[in-house]
Structure 1
């Protein structure tokens, strides 16, 4: 292939969609920050040349499609010999630089060598942005078949049931694997601190968790590390894992309170968060000592986003699985961490037609009992774990509520001794209940606005709907504000009684 042909092959791309900037949508909250976090400065022509090199028999790229999600930019290249190649570049919110790509590749290779799960082959990858392309990337074969979400509505009931069975028979191979620690998979020779490696064999190890909760990659959520050192694993037992959750929560707390007048009532002071998290640490360790929690905390690797869009099936037989994609941020967690996640193919559109839900429950029960066991347990046994790392984002009231409920029902939940979190006084409980009603109002408002405006919960809007959605949000705010202003005061049972109350819990940006 000549240099001239390379130049000819790449020159047409400049008339295609912008490969560098995020162009798929806008955000009603922190729009510039969100789009800046998804700007990737790289050499698109170099990427195209590398794709051509990796496709024997192809001389140029006939066409390409650019796709963008919350964590990656994807290019699907169609070559002049009709083959398709996929290139994926991670955004900042995907996870820590170098580690998130290295872990995903290692996870895919681990699955390919130890299971029969169909995952497209990786043709090339780099987790060093100093490469000739100028960004981290993974280049892989295109999945065979068709995305499940495209044909699911047209599938017969028996095909849907057989498809769910096929998915879980494959995932059983993953869930059945044994691991000695919690964290993420890496190649054994990945350049990590030796103290951060737990070797599985000569090829693979468990290393630091690369989920966003442990790193400074969540847009608009800075980390401070004033009170704790980074604690990202790997963790060899549940106690250590819990320390990681609490330390992740502490790492997001600033040194001093700032702009507290702009925070909702339930946010809580810096001191409140620090005290609450240390109490939470003691409670989680008490709970972790319970044999039931221990049994439900077996280290398990599972798919991080198991939904129809990441599953490919045969066009001839839609019950035949051809690929499970997107293992980015796949991690080894306590089994209970995955237990309450229900894939979209198991959620009935019609409540009276729950065949797929029943198929999912049966497949999970008999094929992945490590997950179905915790799912059948009282969810209150696990709720404090889920809120412990995100108090500064949620507000102190969310974790406090879980700790209060755990303390109040300690004996009913089957724990022995006395809960490390003391039951609140009547006065403290009254204050908490008022703040919690405020918190619930904020959560309900976000949910209702997302539904009403037809947007994602983080405020993402498709680009073509941007202006109309901005206008609709403004009209909605004015309408709710009018209702709040004209309603008669109804006491503490109604937390939103003033314009300031409404503004403090409004989840999206408002023009002055």
Structure 2
């Protein structure tokens, strides 16, 4: 990181900035009578002055494009008519929010632009090293390995100070496979339980979500039992350890 901050591109992207650190729908209050009127913003307690690149690639949930098959359809240039009516409207609304947010960020927060134009590999280590408590050291190590492999391609001077051995790379490959399994599992749970990465659900669907979560966990453990009996590597103990939520 000491070597990276010597690069002028990163220095230009590190202008001090002050933004809401968790700008998402659950922290925005609107009027019950007129939902276009914002009445309050909460969750400011982690606000601090940070390098602009910390915020550069954050897109709040209200401005994010929908994930799923319909997104792939648009990316491949296929006809919008292939989408169901309500999904087409949902995608268009989300697209308007996404584009509007992008324009607003360019106009109202121009100091973020240098960071938004940089190759993400140059900034990923700064942006995510502090989340190792949540994502594990494996994710940070993967960023370091990718950065090391692309050091010269990214125009960085000299050689990368991080140079893992073949044995370390093999060990990391095993750890990273587990990490990817957890991410895929968490994504599947988020979609099936209609929640977010923290597991938040509205109070009125809590019981249904809890039952669905329990059923998903039982299915996951059953899969692990079958895998363990075949000797495929996924044991019940490992499956329980990989489960992303505290509840069992």
Q: Name the residue aligned to 1:431.
A: 171
Aligned counterparts, 1:315-464, within 5 A: 318=36, 325-326=41-42, 327-349=44-66, 350-351=90-91, 354-422=95-163, 424-464=164-204
- Normalising by structure 2, report the TM-score: 0.75
Cα deviation, residue 387, structure 1: 2.8
Would the aligned equivalents of 2:28 and 2:38 in 1 still touch at CA under 8 Å? no
1:303 pairs with 2:44:
no
> Alpha carbon RMSD of aligned pairs, Å?
3.0
Q: For residues 345 and 460 of structure 1, what CA distance do their matches in structure 2 show?
A: 16
More helix by share: 2
- Give the number of aligned pairs: 221
- Normalising by structure 1, report the TM-score: 0.39
Q: For residues 386 and 477 of structure 1, what CA distance do their matches in structure 2 show?
A: 32
Q: For residues 375 and 504 of structure 1, what CA distance do their matches in structure 2 show?
A: 36
Q: Name the residue aligned to 1:23.
A: none
More strand by share: 1
Cα deviation, residue 510, structure 1: 5.2
Give SS of 1:416's match: coil
Would the aligned equivalents of 1:489 and 1:497 in 2 still touch at CA under 8 Å? no
1:503 pairs with 2:240:
yes
Aligned counterparts, 1:175-190, within 5 A: none
Equivalent residue in structure 2 for 1:294, among 11, 22, 27: 11
Q: For residues 324 and 459 of structure 1, what CA distance do their matches in structure 2 show?
A: 24
Q: For residues 453 and 402 of structure 1, what CA distance do their matches in structure 2 show?
A: 30
Gap change, CA 1:469 and 1:299, over 3 Å in 2: same
Give SS of 1:389's match: helix
Would the aligned equivalents of 2:53 and 2:123 in 1 still touch at CA under 8 Å? yes
Q: For residues 139 and 206 of structure 2, what CA distance do their matches in structure 1 show?
A: 32
Would the aligned equivalents of 2:24 and 2:61 in 1 still touch at CA under 8 Å? yes
Whose radius of gyration is greater, 1 or 2?
Answer: 1
Cα deviation, residue 401, structure 1: 0.9
Gap change, CA 1:497 and 1:345, over 3 Å in 2: closer
Gap change, CA 1:456 and 1:322, over 3 Å in 2: closer
Please list the CA deviations of residues 25-63 of structure 1 after superposition, one character each: whole Å capped at 9, or x if unmatched: xxxxxxxxxxxxxxxxxxxxxxxxxxxxxxxxxxxxxxx
Q: Which has the higher contact order (CA 8 A, sep 6+)?
A: 1
